[in-house]
Each structure stands twice: as C-alpha cells, then as structure tokens.
Structure 1
Amino acid sequence: MKGGTIYRLRGNKLSFILVVLICTTIVLWAWEKTPLVTSLLPAQDQFVMPYSEYPVDSHMKPSQVINPTGHFEENFSDAIATGKTRNEPLVQDYSPKKRNEPLVQDYSHKKRNEPLVQDFSVTPISSATTNSTKNIENIRDLATSSAETKVCNYAKGSWVVDKRRPLYSGFGCKQWLSGMWACRLTRRIDFSYEGFRWQPENCEMPEFEGSAFLRRMQDKTLAFVGDSLGRQQFQSFMCMVTGGKESPEVQDVGWEYGLVKARGAIRPDGWAYRFPSTNTTILYYWSASLCDLEPLNVTDPGTYYAMHLDRPVAFLRRYLDRFNVLVLNTGHHWNRGKLRANRWVMYVNGMPNNDRKRAEIWNAKNFAVYSIIKWVNSQLPKHPQLKAFFRTISPRHFRNGDWNTGGNCDNTTPLTGGSIVSQDEPSDPVVADAAKGTGVKILDITPLSELRDEGHISRYSNKAMDGVNDCLHWCLPGIPDTWNEILAAQV
C-alpha cells in the first residue's frame, strides 16, 4: 500500500514536469510568432537624429553630416555598404588646409519660419536598409543644394596699420630691386605708406614668410609675365622671399629660358633665379601686351611687328610646361602712342586686322585678354601642375594732367580716400567674364591699390625730369608687396 502511494506520487510529479515543459514550449513558440517584442523596440531609423538636430560645424563640406558619435562621415550609405560602424569615420579630417581658405557653410533658412528640412519620418524596420539609405542620400543632396561655400574674396577688406611692416628694408635688397623704385634711396622723406597691411574681410591671410614659401614651392617655378608693373611685382617677390638680404647662393638661370641680354639692349627680356636649397625658380618675362610679336622683316632693324591679338607670346608657348604658378598682367601699354612707338600692327588669324571695330584700342585689348585666358585654360589639362592667375590692372593716380602734361600725385597722407573695399564683384568685368568657367583665377588688386595714391614714386624718381611725375609705378617696399601676399595665400 505504501509502495503504491509512492509510485503514484512519482508518476504525478513526472506528469507535472511534462506538462510544464509542453506549456513552456507552446508559450515560446507563440511569443516568437507575435510582433509584441518588435513593437516594443524602436525602429532602426530612430537611432539616427533628424537632420535639423545635427550640430553645424563651420568646417563642414555641404555633403557632410556628423553622426551621433561626433565622427565625420561623407555619406552614411557608404558606411552601410562597407560595413563600417559609427565609430569608424570614413573621413578623418575636413579642417581647411590653409587658414585663409575656410570651408564655412551657410545653413541659414530662406525664411525664418521655413525649416531647412521638412520631414524625414521614421521608416519601419521591415524596410530597413534600402529606405534608410535613401533618406540619408536625400539629406546629403538637400544639404548640398541649400548650403553655399563661402570662398575668401581677397579683394574685399581693409587697410590696417601694422608695425611689422615693411617686410624688408627699403635701404636694402639692392641685389633685386631697381634703384629707380627704391624710394628710401631718393629725396623722399615720408615713408608712412610702408606701414600698412591688407586684411581681407572674410578670411585670415597668413603672414608671409620667405623660407616657408620656398619650402611650399620646392622643385617648382613661379613665373611673372607682363609689363613693367609685372616687373615690379617680380622684384617685390624676390625681396620678400629673401627678406631683402644679400643671397649670393641664389643662381642666375636666365639662360635656361633664353633670358640673356642681347647685343645693344638696355636689359634682357627678363630674369630667372633659382634657390638651390629648395630648387625653387622665380622668373619674370617682359610682355606688355601678352600677344605674340613677330617681326615683319627680320633684316630691318626698324621693322614693324605683327601683334597677334589671338596668339599668346611665344615665351609662354615654349616654356609653359615648366611653370607651376603663372601670373599674367597687361593694360597700360594699350594706347595708340605705345603701339606707334613700338611699331606694333594688329594681326588676327595670321593676317592684318581689317575689323575697324576690333581695331579700337580697348576692343583690341579685350579681344587679346579673352584670347590669352582661353589659350591658358586650354593648356591646363595638359599641365595639371599649373595654377594660373590673371592680375587686374594697377591703377594710375595722375591728377591735373598726365605724365607728360604736368600731372602729379603729391599726396603723402595715407588713405585719404578711405581704407575699406566693400564691393563683392571683380573690379574688371572683362577679365572676370573671360575667366568665368575657366581654371584661370583672377588676382584682383585694383580696388585695394586705388586707395593707396600716396604710395607712388611721384616726383622722387632718381631719373625724374622737371615737371614729370611717376604716378604709375610704386615705391618698394610698398603696394606690390600686398599683391604678392595675396598671391602667396592662394598658391
């Protein structure tokens, strides 16, 4: 009897255990088949912040967003495709390469009450990856279209007093600087024009340092091609990069570019110097019009020259492949007096120009500017190392006449016409239009130089004649140094 009871108890216990196991299995199966758990969990896209909540960084590219971990990623869909986690940024650093080239974005709304992004509703988890990727691509595209990169406009800004100026001594730099432009060596006694620095409005322009520039230009060549104002810019650059100090180690390599003084000539067509420590070459070639000049009779010393308005100077065609930075300028030789004195005859398509409208001096000049910029741009794909600049015209400041009719620029008080340039558009619409859509950059120095009438050589030239003032060229050190600071900031 007792033994039977024990066996019954054991049987009931086993039955109970079996029932519990069966019920547990049924519950687990039912739990797995119901959406209860899924409905209680947040959808996958809820882990991504709406675009309007992303922190905006001043150095972000339009196509960038910041993920919740603070890492930069160019495109979240790339992370999905490559299997990278949020803690593995696809792009490590988007800080500007130069302090003066900020990648500042504008994320302001067109209307104060109009959100930048209207709606990015959460996508159910059932359509996870595809729809999430589309949403992210929509965010990126919208950011790209609505954000505009602000590029530094070096021509817009103000002149400020700077005790660190000038960048080299006006009593030195005799190795590079022509005596007629070294105003410290003349009878001039006021040199306040030396003590100013140009400050662009919306960016920082780094302090020029000669040795640093040479390191950046290691194994490279900087070429100035233009008129006598281009020659001033070249001499200014040589003084700046050497600090105005004697540099006997610098090599004269003009012969490599055919820049040798011809028999009977006052000077060679240009100069080329090389810094052995960095193998950096800086050169200048005189070409007042930038047009190819071809003697019509090579046997006649007094021959006229075909001035090919549609053909760049032969020096450029021959040596362009050796340049890394090219700075072009023209302007002041485009007048009838200069053309007659130089015996230049306008040619187009290899023939004398018969178009009377084009023969008008400023139309001819504009035609030549378009031609040279078009040609340089056509060469850029062949020379990907080349950065090309077209410098706008340096302003004249003759008052009460011209250079040969008693005109003068006797003012010695800086900035009597103001210190600020506020215009956004380039000062030369012809150059701007010619360069639009090309790889040629505009070096716009005209407005900021217009404010500096006290910086000309004026009546202090060591070759001045009575009643003749030089209100075209500049004292050095002086305004052309600023042109080169702006150039160096963009190289």
Structure 2
Amino acid sequence: MELHLIKKPSAYFYNINIITIFITIIIMMILLFASSTSTYKRSAEIVDAALTNAAEDIQTKSDTSENCDIFSGEWVPDPNAPYYTNTTCWAIYETQDCLKNGRPDLGFLKWRWRPDGCELSPFDPFLFLNLVRDRTMAFIGDSLSRNHLQSMMCLLSGSVNPVDVSKPDNPYSSWKYESYNFTVVNLRSPFLVRFDEPAAANTGIFQLYLDELDESWTSQIDDFDYIILSFGHWYSRSAVYHQKRRVVGCHGCHDPNITRTPPTHSLGVALRAAFEAINSRRSFHGTTFLRTFSPSHFEGEWREGADCPRRRPFTRNETALEGFFLDVYETQLKEYFRVVERGKMNKFRLLDLTRAMLMRPDGHPSRYGHGPDKRTAGTINDCLHWCLPGPIDSWSDFLLHMIKMEQRDKLFSVNKKMMLNKSNNY
C-alpha cells in the first residue's frame, strides 16, 4: 500500500535566523574588543540588543513555557500526517514496513501528540540538522533504540540522505550527513551490561554481569555529543545475575539455591552503573537522554498468539501503567532523579515517553510485521515495535524540542556572560 506524501512546511527562514544570530554574536564580539571606549559602549549596546532579541526570538518560537510538561497530554487528529511513506524512506526494516506488508487501515497514521496547555511542533529536518551540525548522536540499547533511529532517518529523508560510514572493526553501525557533518550511530546493547546469551533463544537463561558494563558502548563515550539510552524489555527475560564474580540472584531460573531477585532491581543496578560510567569520562561534555520505557500492547500471552488488534489511540482514562511496565518506569525515574539530585557534572535529560506511548496500542506491526507469504501458524505478532511511519515518529518531535531548549539555554548563558564582561569593563 502506498500513501501520498504531504510535505512539511519548511523552517528555512527560522534556520537562517538562528545561523545569523550566531554569526552576529561573533562579529559583535570582535567589534567589542576592537573599538575605542566610546565606540565600545555603543558596540556593547548593539551586542546586548542582538543577544536579547536572539534569546527572546528562540523563546517566542519555542513550543511551550517553562511550566508546561510536554510529556503530559493526549493524541489528537493530524490530517497532515504522515510526513514520509514507505516509498520515500530507505531506512525501514521489512518487519516495521506495515504498509508494504498489507496493513489495510491507515487511521493509525493520522494522529499527533498535543501536550496539555501548549503545543509540540512537528519535527523540522532542516532545523534539526542545523542544531546538530558537527556533532555525533548515539542510539544505545535494544531494538526499540534502532526503531527510533530509523524513524528519525526517515523524517530526515525528505531533506537529505546520509552516507553509510560503518567500519568492519567497529561494534556499531553509523551514517553521516556530510553537508552538516552530523553522524548518527546505532549501538546494540539490550542490557547495557555484559551478558552471555542462552543456548536456546527466548527460552534459555541469560547470564548478566551487573557490575560489568558492555564495553562495546562504554569505550566509545568520548566520541559522542548526544547519547540516547533506550532499554528495558530484555530485563523481563529469565536471567542469572552476577556481581563481583559471584551469583547474587536470578529471575525465572527455577533454581532453589539462588535468591529470587526482581528484574527491575537488576535494571536499576545496571542503569546506575551506566550513569556513573558516563559521568566518569572527563572528556565527555555532551548530553545524555534516558528514553523511558515504551510499553508493548499484547492482549494475552505473546507466545500463545496474542495480538494488538485496536485501531485507535487510548484516551488517558482508558488505560493505566501497571505490573512490570510500571516497575520499569518507576525504576528508571528513580535512577534518573538520583543522578540529577547528586549534581553530577554531565548533563542528563529525561525523554519521558512512557505515558504517550501507553496510549498507542494501534501503532504496532501486529501480523503486518511480515508479508502474507511469510506468515505461518507459528508467526508471533509484533506488539512491541512500531510501524514506520507511525506513532514512534513523535519521539523525534520530543527530541528536537529538548535540543532546542538546550540551544536556547546556551544563548541565555552567552548573553549573561557578555553583560557581566561589559559591566566589568565600564
């Protein structure tokens, strides 16, 4: 099935405005130091005006006030969606290409997230690429992390496509948007810590070493400007937990000699270790986003043919987070606020998508993760990943908003420093 693509309004003039602002600041700084005292005062006034206007401009164009929680809201109709299709994007895996695989209903594509009391702008590829110019963004975690990256690359595909710069000796895949010198990285690490695979997939016992982080990503931290941590679902699997080279517990192992340990306890230990590893790298000055848990929507036991048959979003009163999903979410929040409250050096941000995605049971591939010729009686419906295009595209709306806020804060900081310098020189 094909869709007619509706192009998103360009933010060309907004992008040029931001670039112009930074160029203006640099030029004015040069004039500031090159001028005489009288000229200096006049130049300082011009700089102040430029900086103030820049800060006010970004704040005016931001989607929300400081007090608006963009993660609390509801899904509302969006007749302009989607902003790409399975025929315009090269990055879609077949297992998430619901349209190609014959999904007959298109209503799940026609929604957007609207926060309570404010608006969240749709993803603007030109603005995004200008804001992340000369940077590297790493998506670290499980297959939902990859799902997010592919969604973002699809949203960018209407503007520019990247070059595959993956190297055989690297433990990750990477693509570069050469005209912006922007690189994205996909690094698989479903537990964030070192683990041994079971002999039988999905039915065996994993061995997790909770105090030994996965070096495939920790060894690369200094190369990244943005890190997006995305994990959780794999902790529902049966596992034996190790710390300090000894077994400390297990989940689903059926061994009477091993202490039963809630999987979310082990998840919390791993997340805390990940945060500490990032903070220990003195050369890393970037931003780390913790993407909170994205619930699946199996109605029944997934191994027994459960499906996600709903065809519209839930309202906020129609569903609630509970059980393992609630435990994972609360554990992630606990560890995030622990690191923030301790005043750690590096910046951590919460990409709190759990509530929004809980309300989208209609956005999964279900049986349309496979073409008709590949569906068998034993095929498991996919109610975990997200169709592309689909609700997961909103994750990049949230991400862009948060990066814009970072840039706005930097402008205010520059403004404050220059005002202090001017005051000291009078």
Question: Residue in 1 aligned with 2:213?
Answer: 312
Contact 2:296 2:383 in 1 (8 A): yes
Q: Does 1:254 align with 2:166?
A: yes
1:251 Cα offset (Å): 1.8
Contact 1:421 1:448 in 2 (8 A): no
Question: Residue in 2 aligned with 1:373?
Answer: 275
Alignment partner for residue 306 of structure 2, among 400, 404, 407? 407
Contact 2:86 2:92 in 1 (8 A): no
Q: Does 1:237 align with 2:135?
A: no
Q: Does 1:481 align with 2:381?
A: no
Contact 1:257 1:319 in 2 (8 A): no
Alignment partner for residue 349 of structure 1, among 215, 232, 244? 244
Question: Residue in 1 aligned with 2:9?
Answer: none
Q: How far apart, CA to CA, are the structure 1 residues paired with 2:218 and 2:309?
A: 42
Residue 426 and residue 159 in structure 1: after superposition, are their counterparts in 2 closer, same or farther (change >3 A)? farther
- Output aligned runs, 1:10-25, within 5 Å: none
Question: Residue in 2 aligned with 1:451?
Answer: 359
Cα offsets for 1:388-423 (capped at 9, x unmatched): 011111111111x221112111122x1244589999
TM-score by length of 1: 0.60
Cα offsets for 1:356-390 (capped at 9, x unmatched): 657432321222122222332343x5322x11011
Cα offsets for 1:196-225 (capped at 9, x unmatched): 111222443233222321121111111101
Question: Residue in 2 aligned with 1:25?
Answer: none
Q: Secondary structure at the match of 1:457?
A: coil
Question: Residue in 2 aligned with 1:433?
Answer: 334
Q: Does 1:286 align with 2:188?
A: yes
- Output aligned runs, 1:2-401, within 5 Å: 92=49, 93=52, 94-95=55-56, 97-98=58-59, 99-100=61-62, 150-173=66-89, 175-243=90-158, 247=161, 250-255=162-167, 258-259=170-171, 270-293=172-195, 307-337=208-238, 339=239, 345-353=240-248, 359-379=261-281, 382-384=283-285, 386-399=286-299, 401=300
Residue 427 and residue 293 in structure 1: after superposition, are their counterparts in 2 closer, same or farther (change >3 A)? closer
Q: Secondary structure at the match of 1:285?
A: strand
Root-mean-square deviation (CA, aligned residues, Å) is 3.5
1:429 Cα offset (Å): 2.2
Q: Secondary structure at the match of 2:74?
A: strand
1:235 Cα offset (Å): 0.7
Q: How far apart, CA to CA, are the structure 1 residues paired with 2:297 and 2:360?
A: 9
Contact 2:191 2:231 in 1 (8 A): yes
Residue 358 and residue 101 in structure 1: after superposition, are their counterparts in 2 closer, same or farther (change >3 A)? farther
Worse-matched range after superposition: 319-328 or 155-164: 155-164
Q: How far apart, CA to CA, are the structure 2 residues paired with 1:286 and 1:204?
A: 33
Q: How far apart, CA to CA, are the structure 2 residues paired with 1:96 and 1:378?
A: 36
1:426 Cα offset (Å): 12
Contact 1:309 1:368 in 2 (8 A): yes
Residue 255 and residue 88 in structure 1: after superposition, are their counterparts in 2 closer, same or farther (change >3 A)? closer
Contact 1:392 1:444 in 2 (8 A): yes
Residue 278 and residue 180 in structure 1: after superposition, are their counterparts in 2 closer, same or farther (change >3 A)? same
Contact 2:264 2:331 in 1 (8 A): no
Aligned residues between the structures: 330
- Greater helix content: 2
Residue 189 and residue 362 in structure 1: after superposition, are their counterparts in 2 closer, same or farther (change >3 A)? same
| Identity percentage of aligned residues | 27
Q: Secondary structure at the match of 2:186?
A: strand
Question: Residue in 1 aligned with 2:10?
Answer: none
Residue 272 and residue 90 in structure 1: after superposition, are their counterparts in 2 closer, same or farther (change >3 A)? closer
Residue 455 and residue 306 in structure 1: after superposition, are their counterparts in 2 closer, same or farther (change >3 A)? closer
Residue 452 and residue 354 in structure 1: after superposition, are their counterparts in 2 closer, same or farther (change >3 A)? closer
Residue 240 and residue 415 in structure 1: after superposition, are their counterparts in 2 closer, same or farther (change >3 A)? same
Q: How far apart, CA to CA, are the structure 2 residues paired with 1:421 and 1:441?
A: 26
Q: Secondary structure at the match of 1:472?
A: coil
Residue 445 and residue 426 in structure 1: after superposition, are their counterparts in 2 closer, same or farther (change >3 A)? farther
Residue 427 and residue 442 in structure 1: after superposition, are their counterparts in 2 closer, same or farther (change >3 A)? farther
Residue 336 and residue 454 in structure 1: after superposition, are their counterparts in 2 closer, same or farther (change >3 A)? closer
Q: Secondary structure at the match of 1:215?
A: helix
In structure 2, runs of 5+ residues without a counterpart are 1-40, 199-204, 251-257, 341-346, 404-426
1:335 Cα offset (Å): 2.6
Residue 277 and residue 421 in structure 1: after superposition, are their counterparts in 2 closer, same or farther (change >3 A)? farther
Contact 2:140 2:188 in 1 (8 A): yes
1:316 Cα offset (Å): 2.4
Q: How far apart, CA to CA, are the structure 1 residues paired with 2:396 and 2:319?
A: 18
Q: Secondary structure at the match of 1:255?
A: coil
TM-score by length of 2: 0.69
Contact 1:445 1:483 in 2 (8 A): yes
1:185 Cα offset (Å): 0.1
Q: How far apart, CA to CA, are the structure 1 residues paired with 2:317 and 2:62?
A: 21
Q: How far apart, CA to CA, are the structure 2 residues paired with 1:201 and 1:427?
A: 25
For the pair shown, which has the larger CA radius of gyration, 1 or 2?
1
Contact 1:156 1:201 in 2 (8 A): yes
1:444 Cα offset (Å): 1.1
1:283 Cα offset (Å): 1.3
Q: Secondary structure at the match of 1:308?
A: strand
Residue 485 and residue 372 in structure 1: after superposition, are their counterparts in 2 closer, same or farther (change >3 A)? same
Q: How far apart, CA to CA, are the structure 2 residues paired with 1:362 and 1:165?
A: 36
Q: How far apart, CA to CA, are the structure 1 residues paired with 2:138 and 2:363?
A: 25
> What letter corresponds to residue 125 of structure 2 in structure 1?
G
Q: Secondary structure at the match of 1:282?
A: strand
Q: Secondary structure at the match of 2:85?
A: coil
Residue 408 and residue 315 in structure 1: after superposition, are their counterparts in 2 closer, same or farther (change >3 A)? same
